[in-house]
Amino acid sequence: MVTQKGTLMTSEREKYPRRGTAERAILTAKLADRAQFIRLETVRLAQIAGAGHYTGTFSAAELFASLYYGELRYRPDQPDWPDRDRFVLSKGHAAIGLYPVLADVGFFERELLDDYTRLGSAFGDHPDMRKISGVDFSSGSLGHGLSISVGMALAGRVQGRDYRTYCMVGDGEMAEGQAWEAAMAAGQFRLGSLVCIVDRNHLSIDGPTEDIMGIEPLADKFSSFRWSVQRIDGHDLDAILDAYDSLEPHGVGRPQVIIADTVKGRGVRRMEANVGWHVGRLAGVDYEEVIAEIQGGLKPAPSGASHA
């Protein structure tokens, strides 16, 4: 367990509050609020830019919230703290949802985002580690993130550090060979400190992943590469926290993957499971309606957009 500021409370991994307890309810309510905040800020920043990656960010909102307000170990006042957990956002186009979180937890002033993507701003459509505090990798060229994460995990072993490396990948990029070379290497080197989170929203910019280049059976593939595999509902905060609690101990051992089945565009009905909203622009009454819908909270996923 980590504090909001990311400082590890003990040298041992602690369990989250058990399901059904008041403490667990408080935690999941806080994470749900932060996931809503991520969606609202994504819409606001896209309005500044004139367009944005709404749907691939909305599918990851609960994952972002659970990582930065629950799971990751970090210190905003020491962004280069050597023992911080590393986070690699391989699906770098979802940075529009990551930036507000980094500001909210204290890596930089929130007002800096008011010039998002404008000339001279550090905050582009994809994250730049040279310009943005709290960003561990300049991502966006899909398929590279898991390889980078393997290197970070190996570096931690060589240096004798106990941090974990978390890598969030999109399911579309899992059709790239480099991702599977990295998965094979992680199994070979027994990188137990490596945690891959697959945002399995079933859509890429060109359409359904299984129509373009099928990646299933995804769990069996990771298993065959000597990974420990969990598969969950990526919008169920209890399931996400349970998955973190079930991670195997840090150290030499099986690398670990959480396949999070999600809905692309989750939280905005017109965007859910709609490939046409991979990149888009809201204006006028559409903008106001989407803000109101997000503020109203998550509704049951529509038929046809359920988790596979």
Whether residue 308 is predicted with pLDDT greater than 70 in this model: the reply is no
Q: Is residue 250 part of a domain?
A: yes
Residue 1 lies in a domain: no
Kind and range of the H or E element at 237? helix 237-245
Whether 294 shows a pLDDT value over 80: the answer reads yes
CB-count burial class (<10 Å; 0-12, 13-18, 19+) for 14: exposed
Say yes or no to pLDDT of 306 above 70: no
Q: What are the residues whose beta carbons fall under 8 Å from the beta carbon of 14, sequence distance 6 or more?
A: 1
Question: CATH code at 39?
Answer: 3.40.50.970
Query: 227-278, pLDDT tens digit by residue?
Result: 999 999 999 999 999 999 999 998 999 999 999 999 999 999 999 999 999 8
Residue 1 has pLDDT above 90, yes or no: no
The C-alpha atoms of residue 22 and residue 134 are separated, in whole angstroms, by 32
**Is 163 inside any structural domain?**
yes
Which whole number is the average pLDDT over 116-143?
94
Tokens of 295: 């503020």
Residue 129 lies in a domain: yes
Residue 300 lies in a domain: no
Residue 4 burial (CB count, 10 A) = 13
The Cα–Cα gap between 85 and 163 comes to 5
When pLDDT is averaged across residues 13-42 and rounded to a whole number, the result is: 94
Residue 11: per-residue pLDDT: 31
Q: Residue 141: its pLDDT value, please? A: 86
pLDDT value at residue 4: 41
The pLDDT confidence band at residue 130, using thresholds 50, 70 and 90, is very high
Question: Mean pLDDT across the chain, nearest whole number?
Answer: 93
> What are the pLDDT digits (tens) for 39-72?
999 999 999 999 999 999 999 999 999 999 999 9
What per-residue confidence (pLDDT) applies to 127? 95
Q: Where are the beta strands (DSSP E) in the chain?
A: 86-89, 165-170, 194-200, 203-204, 207-208, 228-233, 256-261
Query: Is residue 97 domain-resident?
Result: yes
User: Mind listing the pLDDT tens digit for each residue in 104-124?
Assistant: 999 999 999 999 999 999 999
User: Does residue 49 fall inside a structural domain?
Assistant: yes
Hey, CA dihedral for 89, 140, 54, 45, is it positive or negative? Answer: positive
Q: How many separate domains does the chain show?
A: 1
First to last CA, the chain: 30
User: Which pair of tokens denotes residue 147?
Assistant: 């390889």
The percentage of the chain sitting over the pLDDT mark of 70, rounded to a whole number, equals 93
Half-sphere exposure of residue 77: CA atoms within 13 angstroms, side-chain side: 3
pLDDT score at 10: 31
Q: What is the pLDDT of residues 148-181, one digit of tens each?
A: 999 999 999 999 999 999 999 999 999 999 999 9
Range of the domain at 179: 22-295
CB atoms within 10 A of CB 7: 14
Q: Can you give the pTM of this predicted structure?
A: 0.93
- Is pLDDT larger for residue 135 or for residue 283? 135
- Domain assignment present for residue 305? The answer is no
Mean of pLDDT values over 7-20: 62
